[in-house]
Amino acid sequence: MSQTIEITYPEQIQKINIANGTNLYAIDLSNFNNLVDLTCTNTTLQKIYGFDGASTLISGIDLKNNQIDTFFNLSNKTNLRYLNLAQNQLIGYIPALSGSPLLRQFFCSRNNLSGPIPQLSSLTNLVEFKCESNQLTGPIPALSGLSFLKVFLCNNNLLTGSIPALSATTNLVYFYCAFNQLTGPLPSLSGLTKLLVFHADNNGFTGSIPVLSSLTNLVEFKCESNQLTGPIPALSGLSNLSIFNCNTNRLSGSIPALSSLTNLTEFLCNTNRLTGSIPALSGLNNLQQFICHTNRLTGSIPALSGLNNLQQFICNVNQLTGPIPSLDGLNNLQQFICSTNQLSGSMPSLSGLTNLQQFICNTNQLSGSIPSLNSLSALQQFICHTNQLTGFAGGSVSNILGQFQAQNNQLTSTPVNAILAAFVAANNTTGVRVLNLGGTNSAPTGQGITDKATLVSRGWTVTTNLI
Amino acid sequence: MKIYSNQNVNVEQVIPFPDEVHTTDQEWWMIYDADTKVIAIEPLQCSGYTSSSFTMVISNTEEELLEYIKQNNLIYSVNKI
C-alpha cells in the first residue's frame, strides 16, 4: 500500500535521513531549497523527482542500495562533495561530473551503467571514485591532475585502451582495474609510495611489470592472466607484501629473492616461462601458497621447514631436481604437488600432516618406499606413479583416500599386497575410488588377489598385473 | 567376461563393467562413470588388468580419447591438476 508523506515547510529542511524502508517508492525534492544532505539507503526507492530544481546547496547524497534506475542531472549541484548510488539498478551513461568541482567521493558500483567514464580531470578534490561491476566501455580517463585521489575502482567492466599515467596521483592507495579489456603496458608506479593494492588482472596488458621497489607499503599486486613479458622485478624492499600473483603471463627470467618478504602469504607465478631455481623460502612464516607450476624452473626445492602456515606448495611441470625436502611440522599443508619434474631420492615422511589432502609427485625419479600414510585423516589423493619406488612402509590408510595411483614403479608383490590389504581394511565405500598398481609393478599374490576382488565388489576401479 | 583389446584396432573399445580387461603399455585408456559422466581415470598409458563398475574406453591414441570425452560431454574431476 502506497503512502504519501508531505513536509509542510520543505524549505526549512536541511537533512533527510531514511533507512531500511520497504514501501518507499519516490521522493519529490521540489521546494527543498536548503537541503544539504540526503540519505536514503537500503530501501525500495525507485524515483527521485524534482532533483533539477532542488537545492544547489546539497553536498551529500547517499542513495546506496535502492532500486533507482535513472541517473539524475548533476550539472547545477556545485556544492556536491559526496554521491553514493552504488547497488541500484541504474542504466544509461554516467552524467558529466564537471559541474561538481568539489566532489570528493563518487560511488556508482554494481549497477547496469554503460558508456564511458566521464572526464575527471577537473575534479581536483576527488579522493574516491568507484564504478566497478557495470558495463562501462571506452578508456579510463586521465587521472593526472587528481593529486588527492586515494581510491580508484573500475574493475569488472568492458573498458578498453591503456591505464593512464599514475605518476601524479601520489596519494593513490587502492587501484583496481581487473576484469576489463585493457591493453598496452602497465604504467610506471614509481613514487606511489602510499599504494597498498594494485589489481590489473584478467586484461590484455603487454610489456613488462613496472619497477616496484619504491612501493614500500604495497600489500597486494595482482596481474594474473595478461600477456606480460620480461622478468619479475626485485621485491626485496616490499616488507608489507602479502599477495603477489602474476600467473598465466609470459614472464621469463628467475624468481627474485623473497627472503625479506616476511608478510608474504601468496606467491603465484604459475604458467609462465620462468627459469632458474626457486629462491630460499626460509623465514616466510606467513606463507600459505607457493604456486609456480608450469614453468622451466631448475635446481632443487628449497627447505620448507618452519613454514608452519604453508597450505599449498604446487610446482609441477618444471625441471626440478634433487630430493623432496622434509615436510615435518607443516601441519597446515593441504596440497603438495610436484609431479612431472626430475626429482630423485626417497619420499619424505608424511607423518603428522593431518591436513594433507593431495600428495602428487608422479613422473619423477623417486626411489625407496612409499611412506606410511597412517593418521593422514584428510588425505584424498596420493599419486606417485611413474617413479622408481620399490616398497611400501605399511600401515593403514584413511577411509576417504579414494585415489591411489602408484603404477609404473618397481613395487614387488609384497608391497602390492600390503597396499591392497590397507584399502580393504579402510573400507572406503563412497565417491570415485581408483587404485592403480599396474604397469611395471609386480602382480598381487595370494590374499592380494582376493583383496583386489573385494575392492572391485565394493565399487573400486582397480588395476594390477596378473601372475 | 574377459575382453582383450587389440592393438591393431584404431577405433575405441567401450567396455561397460570391465572385468580384468588387459591393456598394454602402448594403449591409451580411461574410465568414466556412465551415470554421472565424471571421469574416474583420465586418459593414460598403463599396462595391467583392470576391473571396475564404471565404463572403460580403450584406444590407440590419446587424441581419440580426448575426442571421445568431448563428444560424450564427459566431466573432468574437480581435483584435476
Q: Are residues A330 and A412 in the same domain?
A: yes
Q: pLDDT (tens digit, 0 to 9) for every residue of chain A, 467 residues total?
A: 556 777 778 888 899 998 877 788 988 888 888 999 999 999 999 999 888 877 889 999 999 999 999 998 888 899 999 999 999 999 999 999 999 999 999 999 999 999 999 999 999 999 999 999 999 999 999 998 899 999 999 999 999 999 999 999 999 999 999 999 999 999 999 999 999 999 999 999 999 999 999 999 999 999 999 999 999 999 998 999 999 999 999 999 999 999 999 999 999 999 999 999 999 999 999 999 999 999 999 999 999 999 999 999 999 999 999 999 999 999 999 999 999 999 999 999 999 999 999 999 999 999 999 999 998 999 999 999 999 999 999 889 999 999 999 999 999 999 999 999 999 999 998 888 999 999 999 999 999 999 999 999 999 999 999 87
Q: Which of A293, A321, A349 is the last residue of a domain?
A: A321
Residue type, A368: G
Q: Are residues A343 and A425 in the same domain?
A: yes
- The pLDDT of residue A312: 98
Q: Are residues A313 and A391 in the same domain?
A: no
Q: Tell me which chain B residues have a C-beta less than 8 angstroms from the C-beta of A432.
A: 33, 38, 40, 77
Q: Are residues A364 and A302 in the same domain?
A: no
Q: Which of A277, A303, A321 is the last residue of a domain?
A: A321
DSSP state of B75: B
Q: How far is CA A8 from CA A5, A84, B23, B52, in A?
A: 10, 28, 89, 81
Q: Are residues A327 and A245 in the same domain?
A: no
Is there a contact between B41 and A460 if contact means CB atoms under 8 Å apart? Answer: no
Q: Is residue A185 part of a domain?
A: no
Of A48, A51, A43, A38, nearest in space to A19 by CA = A43
Cut 0.90: pTM above it: yes
- Chain A CA closest to residue B32: A432
Q: Please say if the pLDDT value at position B19 is more than 80.
A: yes
Q: Are residues A231 and A303 in the same domain?
A: yes
Q: Tell me which chain B residues have a C-beta less than 8 angstroms from the C-beta of A466.
A: 20, 22, 49
Q: Is residue A20 part of a domain?
A: no
Q: Is residue A56 part of a domain?
A: no
Q: How far is CA A276 from CA A317, A353, A365, B57, in A?
A: 14, 29, 20, 41
Q: Is residue A410 part of a domain?
A: yes
- At B62-80, the pLDDT tens digits run 999 999 999 999 998 765 4
Q: Are residues A212 and A250 in the same domain?
A: yes
Q: Are residues A341 and A250 in the same domain?
A: no
Q: Tell me which chain B residues have a C-beta less than 8 angstroms from the C-beta of A339.
A: 81
Q: Is residue A374 part of a domain?
A: yes
| Residue A262, min C-alpha distance to chain B (Å) | 29
Q: Is residue A195 part of a domain?
A: no
- Chain B CA closest to residue A317: B81
Q: Are residues A302 and A373 in the same domain?
A: no
Nearest-CB residue to A439 (from B20, B38, B47): B47
Is there a contact between B48 and A358 if contact means CB atoms under 8 Å apart? Answer: no
Q: Are residues A270 and A246 in the same domain?
A: yes
Q: How far is CA A241 from CA A248, A256, A261, A292, in A?
A: 20, 14, 6, 18
ipTM of the complex: 0.85
Q: Please state the rounded mean pLDDT for residues B2-24.
A: 71
How far apart (Å, rounded) are the C-alpha atoms in residues A141 and A167? Answer: 14
How far apart (Å, rounded) are the C-alpha atoms in residues A106 and A211? Answer: 30
Q: Please say if the pLDDT value at position B30 is more than 60.
A: yes
Question: Strand pairing partners for A451?
Answer: none
- Say which residue the cell 591392497 belongs to: A420
CATH code of A418's domain:
3.80.10.10
Q: Is residue A341 part of a domain?
A: yes
- Chain A CA closest to residue B45: A439
Q: Is residue A220 part of a domain?
A: yes
- The pLDDT of residue B9: 41
Is there a contact between B47 and A456 if contact means CB atoms under 8 Å apart? Answer: no
Q: Which of A288, A321, A354 is the last residue of a domain?
A: A321
Q: Are residues A309 and A337 in the same domain?
A: no
DSSP state of A338: -
Q: Are residues A236 and A264 in the same domain?
A: yes
Name the domain count of chain A: 2
Least confident range of A185-189, B5-9, B56-60, B65-69: B5-9
Enclosing domain of residue A383? 323-467
- The pLDDT of residue A31: 85
| Residue A351, min C-alpha distance to chain B (Å) | 23
Helix (H, G, I), strand (E, B) or coil at B66: helix
| Residue B42, min C-alpha distance to chain A (Å) | 11
- The pLDDT of residue A2: 57
